[in-house]
Structure 1
Amino acid sequence: MGSAAGQRNLRIGVDVGGTNTDGVIIDPTRSKEADRGHKAPTTTDPSHGIAAAITTMFKSASIEPSSVASVTIGTTHFVNAVITRDHTRLSRVAVIRLGAPFSKHAPPCIDWPAPLRNLILGHHALLKGGLEVDGSLISEIREAEIVEQCKIIKEKGIKSIVINGIFSPIDTVEKQEERAAEIVIRELGNVDVVLSKTVANLGFLERENAAILNASVLSFARRTIASFQEPIKKLGLDCPVFITQNDGTILSGDAAARLPIRTFSSGPTNSMRGAAFLVGKQDHGEAMMVVDVGGTTTDVGLLLANGFPRQQAAYSELSGVRMNFSYPDVKSIGLGGGSLVRRIDGKMHVGPESVGYKLPEKALVFGGDVPTATDYIVAAAKDLAIGDSSKVQGKLAEEDIDAFKTETKRMLEEIIDTMKTSPEDLPVLLVGGGAVVAPDELKGASRVIKPEWSGVANAIGAAMARVSAVIDTVKSTEKTSAKELQAEIEEEAKQKTIEAGASAESVEVVEVESLPLAYIAHKSRFIVRAAGDFDYTRSADFATMRIESSHEEETAEPSGPSNNSTPPSTEANDVEEDPAVDIDFSSYRPKVVNREWHISETDLQWITIGCYILGTGGGGSPYSTMLRVRQMLRNGQTILVMNPDDLKDDDRVGSGGGAGSPTVGIEKLSGDEMMDAQVHMYKLFPGGRATHIIPLEIGGSNGLQGLVLGASSNMNIPCVDGDWMGRAYPTKWQTTPVVFGERPIVFAPVSVADGNGNILYMPTATSDLKVEQVIRAALSQMGSHVGTADGPVTGSETRRWAVEHTISLSWRIGREVARARKENRIDNVAESIIDAVGGPETGRVLFKGKIVGVERKLWMGHIYGEVIVEGTEGTQFAGKIKIPFKNENIAAIRLHEGVETETGEEKNEDVLAIVPDLISVIDAQNGEAIGTPEYRYGLLVLVIGITASERWTTPKGIEIGGPKGFGLDHLEYKPMGKFVKPISVIDEYDGKS
């Protein structure tokens, strides 16, 4: 339909998918309808497909170029370059880290699949620099170091450089990454430099991973986006070109050429935004489920009431690379128009196998010989104009048609239930070419809507995308209240959104999170997102793309090889196995020789999973420590574990671990602070070196520190299969040596190191509580993360005091999670974990449901809070429970509707489990533990309880580690079950091959 010249009111959306390129022209001022839809196969060169889509739509309607306000393009091209490991489109990258000596044990790409790492990582260096969490310097950057690295990078011919500094996202004063980039550009000239802080937020390794992928695809993205300009200019359009990004908002072409990674998962998001626009509910405060049915798969996502898709949890993964930037939470199932339909053992199966894009030749209705979902739909509907209905009607058995309908309905209802965040029904929007396979009614749906034009919902979503900006920062609340700071940051986010092209009157804050930081006085992390509609009165400001070609790109073809790409990789298509899952569980035997357990990579993966589950919400993620231990194994080091029963009376058993804030732990990765503390301890300790090492706590990251310390060249001693907690209590005095009380003080002498040359030694103290208080006080001046070493105890004391066989227990728990993943039965992983720890008398599944509320506050350095989990009506887990936590989970308490839940109202009969018993919250979708900092609304969780070791169930143990130790004096401890001592892996497998 035409439009008066000079009135810029039309928006063009084009979505370049792997199979089809869809286009649409929309006049948002008119009713919610698409003027012209277009669907055609995607071309090898995307610019041709875009040109064809726009030209076809222009020809079919008398449209003046001057009436077009914007062209928005969604493309999977950049992400496909990574997924297919296309060496012609990926540049080699050099990484300069600022923050030595921290992170030295986790070099860049340490957790990448080897073929991708070999393809992309060309050089890396760890230099001086980096910030502490309070903004003070770890050290100043050194220009000479950077200049030296530039010479090496030049020799290697690398043209893409990433600069990553510790705590750079909060660096607004020192601007270390920016200053380093200026030196690199001065020395190397025409190169691409990516600052990690421009790509992602806090989380050092994950931010760096995202920055490296971004840098690698930059040259190809710039050429591709520049090529999008050509067809648009030829059509006489003088309007901005936008690219859609992962969160359902747009980037200017310039910005997308600098940050192509932000566009990696925009396809599903475009469908969700388009679907909502089609039913006129885009921003009307109602959450909606969007079900996008294609030819092969169905993608399901939740569009929140704020009009944006729900994002994944803390981390997202792409092609085996873990990152921490915004990614929509979309689940896929193998159901589509081309899904194969057949009976197996009498049961009707639909998918996951599919004829895919060959549907027009393979399906029965098109004269093929393969029964597909489309055939069954045509047979059931009687009036669908798809193919030749006479080929199926009356030829497929009625009972098979009914069974097909029942099975597709079950599949859709199951995935919708998985994605819901509350038991209430909500609208379900069906879009995509295969939407006809879905029924008109679904359990869990308040209504099922199949809007007109739903086949091009992705292009509509692109055309109607909004503009947004995010600020993620750490601020001091010492002199300004958190409320005032939040208001300031909200204004800042709104301003940033307006600068990105939004109209001032439409901008609003759509997401706010504030997290107080543990063990750090007066510090909170704020994450604020604002969004608004594009301001078309400022179109001219965005109409000219300023995409500068770099390093001789001008001669390259739009989709041809990049001049600085690597030679073809011979292993580019290898898939790296996950040792935790890709083994034969029935035949695997850990290596135990002469009663010493030689840890393998498989053992390590299982122990890591188990450690975080035993952390009961605390202890920090063991992920980066696992990477360090894995690297030690790959370097040929031997890591030994021994049974505490085998200790001699006069053996000297040392201990050590990390203390501090988990937020600092994800950013300032360990240097040598743990070992510095140990070395210093034994320089000053008169009794001589330790002969063995025991972890301070098995829960979380410290559970693996015994393996690190024992195997390091300075010590080279076995790690004891046990620990002083059996979990991850928040304080040093909540340990079994203090419970036994056989020494006036256990944790002095103590040595504390910050990894940067500052070491504290405390030879004596009046109590273990005083040691804890002194270390906590020192923490804030030592970077909020330190390594500690405790004076050794004897072998006979260790046998009496240790919570035994907890490394074995972690291994058994991790093995069950890995087995459940391999066998696709995560739905009963909680029951498998209970079996692994000793069966139903030892522990039980306390609850299954969704997190529907989280509250956190900081008090005396610890994060206090509670999480509310809501179960599913009609199951044994109906209703709600709350889990109060102080860094770790303290209890699981049943809530009653309409009854006050203030502390005084909690009753013993409502307590499902309480400390010292262990309460763990596990992700229901992968079996991984969820730490208290990761609790967020909408996560599907399993809550399990495990009876505490008998070391904790004495009167003294209950006093220190029970309800009173956490300030819940009104509740009493009742054991959840009977303690069963974990079976030692060494006892079970000694001498067995």
Structure 2
Amino acid sequence: MYKLGIDVGGTNTDAVILDDKLNVLVSAKTHTTKDIETGIKNAIHKVVNGKNIDVQQIKQAMLGTTQATNAIVERKNLGKVGILRIGYPATASVLPYTEWPEDITQILSNKYALIHGGYEFNGDPIVPFSEEEVRTKLNEWQGQIDGLAVVGVFSSINDDQEKRVSAIAHEILGSDFPVSISSSIGSIGLIGRENATILNAALNKVIKNVTHGFSHALADEKITNATVYLCQNDGTLMSLEYAAKYPILTIGSGPTNSIRGAAYLSKIKNALTVDIGGTTSDIGVLTNGFPRESSKAVTVGGVRTNFRMPDVLSVGLGGGTIVRVSDDGSVTVGPDSVGYAITEKALVFGGDTLTTTDIAVRLGLCQIGDPKLVESIDEDTAQKAMRKIAAILEDGIDQMKTSAEDVEVVLVGGGSIIAPETLKGVKHITKSDFGGVANAIGATIASIGGEYEKVYQYAHVKRSDALSDVEKQAGQQAIMAGAKADTIKVVEVTEVPLAYAPGETTRVKAKVIGEIDNAKEA
């Protein structure tokens, strides 16, 4: 039995095939194409033919993709969204789409309504919930929206009203109509959670295109026995059915795949990871083998949200980053890059642009292209450029460190050839022969994941009961995503007391993982 993993990055599309013991059999790196699907087909074709793999033995196929992120940033293929906020009149002072870029709101439509209802911080109703208002709006919007975002005040305490609106929506708009409820997407904070829910509802068409494109690419290579999974942004997998409900969870999956791949290749569970690509370097944190989650609000395409995202710092340094030499001999590095055109533009490949890859070849750090083409680069200039490269990486690592002590660093990515052998603040750098495709490996070795968050008042609910409940709910999420029930294990539980709320109010979150349910594959 084989596993196929694909990771689509901004510059390269990487592919690997692993056996049932998770040994890497073959890997490939191809250029990402504008239509994405062609690049995926090229990568699959390359690995399948690399070792004459029996495609009928490929039973699982995993995809990490930037399509959702790109759709939001580029304002393409987004669906029309209707928004029902349950919280009138308490929330009327700040309307939906407040502080959104105007160009994206025009695409998503301006259909929103504030519905009587919502809860206080302790779970008490603010005003009676109006089912009639919900039905009126949904009947009015029939045929005019592609997805529905449902957001209730303090639904993290009680999501009953959100679930009721969802049931009414399926009754009026159809059982298959995409409905996103905020309690299963965002965290505490009405506006950030609402924004994330709106984006999730807008991405339904995008995720359908992604899954169809991946399925077509697999079919073209006669891979017909594989169950398909998409990568979540916490380093785990989800089924296509689950991804259809929560497409926003694919945002940021690329960096997390690299972090998980770095953990697998290095066998290190706690370290900083540096993934150097063609254009940028992503610096992340491994905590117990998984990416550290960001504690800050995340802005996606100009929209501020509060759904989970990996804690990753991106700096403008990659294998294609342009190096410039001034008349006075000073050297600057980036942040602009020749990106996926490096094999045409870089000096070692016969181009006319001095890049960081040329510097690495000139200093003997790697052997690619034609080294004779960079012999004319002055040694002093090359050393100055390398010191700049080191300084950029050292500054990024320093920003991600949690103490002044030297740290372990796992170096991956196709552009890792440009990194120096030693860095200040780093006690040891670990590399791997397969580091260039760590992102695809991370996608392939991942488990099914589930996460759940809720607010409890410990003055009224036993702490043990709250922990048990949130772990159970996270397990249910994992099962929905495709995990085998008896393999689920808790990997992280966090408790955050909310100082401004009475009754020992605490935000509790659990993360679980489980093995792929083979019965569901069948």
Q: TM-score, normalised by structure 1?
A: 0.50
Give distance in 2, aligned partners of 1:65 and 1:365: 36
Partner in structure 1 of residue 16 of structure 2? 24
Partner in structure 2 of residue 678 of structure 1? none
1:254 CA displacement: 0.9
Report the CA distance shift for 1:510/1:526 in structure 2 as closer, same or farther (over 3 A): farther
1:204 aligns with 2:190: yes
Q: Secondary structure at the match of 1:169?
A: coil
Q: Secondary structure at the match of 2:123?
A: coil
Q: Secondary structure at the match of 2:4?
A: strand
Question: Contact conserved, 1:316 with 1:323, CA < 8 A, in 2?
Answer: yes
Give distance in 2, aligned partners of 1:128 and 1:152: 17
1:416 CA displacement: 0.7
When structure 1 is superposed on structure 2, of 159-168 and 517-526 the one drifting more is 517-526
- Give the letter for the 2:275 counterpart: D
1:214 aligns with 2:193: no
1:504 CA displacement: 5.7
Partner in structure 1 of residue 101 of structure 2? 113
Q: Secondary structure at the match of 1:430?
A: strand
Question: Contact conserved, 2:453 with 2:470, CA < 8 A, in 1?
Answer: no
Partner in structure 2 of residue 486 of structure 1? 467
Instruction: State which of 321, 342, 352 in structure 1 corresponds to 2:324.
Output: 342
Instruction: State which of 140, 162, 168 in structure 2 corresponds to 1:152.
Output: 140
Give distance in 1, aligned partners of 2:500 and 2:285: 35
Give distance in 1, aligned partners of 2:465 and 2:437: 44
Question: Any idea what the Cα deviations from partners look like across 1:699-725, whole Å, max 9, x if unmatched?
Answer: xxxxxxxxxxxxxxxxxxxxxxxxxxx
Task: Identify the structure with bigger relative contact order (alpha carbons < 8 Å, sequence gap 6+).
Answer: 2
1:331 CA displacement: 1.3
Report the CA distance shift for 1:224/1:504 in structure 2 as closer, same or farther (over 3 A): closer
1:152 CA displacement: 2.8
When structure 1 is superposed on structure 2, of 125-134 and 347-356 the one drifting more is 347-356
Question: Any idea what the Cα deviations from partners look like across 1:589-625, whole Å, max 9, x if unmatched?
Answer: xxxxxxxxxxxxxxxxxxxxxxxxxxxxxxxxxxxxx
Report the CA distance shift for 1:26/1:423 in structure 2 as closer, same or farther (over 3 A): same
Q: Secondary structure at the match of 1:434?
A: helix
Partner in structure 2 of residue 540 of structure 1? 519
Give distance in 1, aligned partners of 2:206 and 2:478: 27
Question: Any idea what the Cα deviations from partners look like across 1:401-460, whole Å, max 9, x if unmatched?
Answer: 221222212221111111111222222111112111101111222211221111111111
Partner in structure 1 of residue 180 of structure 2? 194
Q: Secondary structure at the match of 1:23?
A: strand
Question: Contact conserved, 2:456 with 2:508, CA < 8 A, in 1?
Answer: no
Question: Contact conserved, 2:491 with 2:513, CA < 8 A, in 1?
Answer: no
Report the CA distance shift for 1:517/1:29 in structure 2 as closer, same or farther (over 3 A): same
- Give the letter for the 1:343 counterpart: V
- Note the residue ranges of structure 2 that are not aligned, 5 or more in a row: none
Report the CA distance shift for 1:45/1:534 in structure 2 as closer, same or farther (over 3 A): farther
Give distance in 2, aligned partners of 1:292 and 1:446: 18
Question: Contact conserved, 1:69 with 1:239, CA < 8 A, in 2?
Answer: yes
Report the CA distance shift for 1:179/1:487 in structure 2 as closer, same or farther (over 3 A): closer
Give distance in 2, aligned partners of 1:519 and 1:433: 47
Please give the residue correspondences for 1:878-957 in structure 2 after superposition, counting only pairs within 5 Å.
none
Give distance in 1, aligned partners of 2:236 and 2:42: 25
Partner in structure 1 of residue 351 of structure 2? 368
Give distance in 1, aligned partners of 2:199 and 2:45: 34
Partner in structure 1 of residue 50 of structure 2? 60
1:300 CA displacement: 1.0
Give distance in 1, aligned partners of 2:518 and 2:107: 40
1:136 aligns with 2:128: no
Partner in structure 1 of residue 255 of structure 2? 268
Q: Secondary structure at the match of 1:11?
A: strand
Give distance in 2, aligned partners of 1:391 and 1:476: 68
1:484 CA displacement: 4.8
Give distance in 2, aligned partners of 1:233 and 1:390: 43
Question: Any idea what the Cα deviations from partners look like across 1:778-813, whole Å, max 9, x if unmatched?
Answer: xxxxxxxxxxxxxxxxxxxxxxxxxxxxxxxxxxxx
Give distance in 1, aligned partners of 2:197 and 2:460: 35
Give distance in 2, aligned partners of 1:220 and 1:500: 19
Report the CA distance shift for 1:412/1:108 in structure 2 as closer, same or farther (over 3 A): same
- Give the letter for the 1:18 counterpart: G
Give distance in 1, aligned partners of 2:469 and 2:341: 55
Question: Contact conserved, 1:472 with 1:525, CA < 8 A, in 2?
Answer: no
Q: Secondary structure at the match of 1:470?
A: strand
Question: Contact conserved, 1:432 with 1:455, CA < 8 A, in 2?
Answer: yes
Report the CA distance shift for 1:441/1:90 in structure 2 as closer, same or farther (over 3 A): same
Question: Contact conserved, 2:494 with 2:510, CA < 8 A, in 1?
Answer: no
Q: Secondary structure at the match of 1:102?
A: coil
Partner in structure 2 of residue 681 of structure 1? none
Partner in structure 2 of residue 387 of structure 1? 369
Q: Secondary structure at the match of 1:429?
A: strand
1:48 CA displacement: 4.1
Question: Any idea what the Cα deviations from partners look like across 1:220-264, whole Å, max 9, x if unmatched?
Answer: 312331332234356243232110011111111111112111101
- Give the letter for the 1:379 counterpart: R
Please give the residue correspondences for 1:388-407 in structure 2 after superposition, counting only pairs within 5 Å.
388-393=370-375, 395-407=376-388
1:498 CA displacement: 4.8
Question: Contact conserved, 2:17 with 2:47, CA < 8 A, in 1?
Answer: yes
Question: Contact conserved, 1:22 with 1:39, CA < 8 A, in 2?
Answer: yes
Give distance in 2, aligned partners of 1:14 and 1:126: 42
Give distance in 1, aligned partners of 2:122 and 2:226: 44
Question: Contact conserved, 2:492 with 2:512, CA < 8 A, in 1?
Answer: no
Partner in structure 2 of residue 529 of structure 1? 510
Report the CA distance shift for 1:17/1:487 in structure 2 as closer, same or farther (over 3 A): same
1:212 CA displacement: 0.8
Q: Secondary structure at the match of 2:10?
A: coil
Q: CA RMSD in A?
A: 2.3
Instruction: State which of 238, 242, 245 in structure 2 corresponds to 1:255.
Output: 242
- Give the letter for the 1:158 counterpart: I
Give distance in 2, aligned partners of 1:352 and 1:404: 13
Q: Secondary structure at the match of 1:170?
A: coil
Partner in structure 2 of residue 359 of structure 1? 342
Question: Contact conserved, 2:58 with 2:223, CA < 8 A, in 1?
Answer: no
Report the CA distance shift for 1:124/1:237 in structure 2 as closer, same or farther (over 3 A): same
Question: Contact conserved, 1:81 with 1:90, CA < 8 A, in 2?
Answer: yes
Give distance in 2, aligned partners of 1:518 and 1:57: 54
Q: Secondary structure at the match of 2:273?
A: strand
Question: Any idea what the Cα deviations from partners look like across 1:167-189, whole Å, max 9, x if unmatched?
Answer: 123325xx211212222333333
Please give the residue correspondences for 1:755-904 in structure 2 after superposition, counting only pairs within 5 Å.
none
Partner in structure 2 of residue 463 of structure 1? 444
Report the CA distance shift for 1:457/1:119 in structure 2 as closer, same or farther (over 3 A): same
Aligned residues: 519
- Give the letter for the 1:357 counterpart: Y
Partner in structure 2 of residue 15 of structure 1? 7
Question: Contact conserved, 1:311 with 1:328, CA < 8 A, in 2?
Answer: yes
Q: Secondary structure at the match of 1:289?
A: strand
- Give the letter for the 2:216 counterpart: E
Give distance in 2, aligned partners of 1:226 and 1:400: 49
Partner in structure 2 of residue 183 of structure 1? 168
Instruction: State which of 379, 386, 409 in structure 1 corresponds to 2:390.
Output: 409
Partner in structure 2 of residue 904 of structure 1? none
Partner in structure 2 of residue 75 of structure 1? 65
Q: Secondary structure at the match of 1:489?
A: helix
Question: Contact conserved, 1:252 with 1:542, CA < 8 A, in 2?
Answer: no
Question: Contact conserved, 1:273 with 1:307, CA < 8 A, in 2?
Answer: yes
Report the CA distance shift for 1:419/1:517 in structure 2 as closer, same or farther (over 3 A): closer
Partner in structure 1 of residue 294 of structure 2? 312
Question: Contact conserved, 2:359 with 2:385, CA < 8 A, in 1?
Answer: yes
When structure 1 is superposed on structure 2, of 361-370 and 71-80 the one drifting more is 361-370
Give distance in 2, aligned partners of 1:177 and 1:540: 32
Partner in structure 2 of residue 981 of structure 1? none
Report the CA distance shift for 1:498/1:143 in structure 2 as closer, same or farther (over 3 A): closer
Q: Give me the identity figure in percent.
A: 38
Report the CA distance shift for 1:489/1:297 in structure 2 as closer, same or farther (over 3 A): closer
Question: Contact conserved, 2:118 with 2:153, CA < 8 A, in 1?
Answer: yes
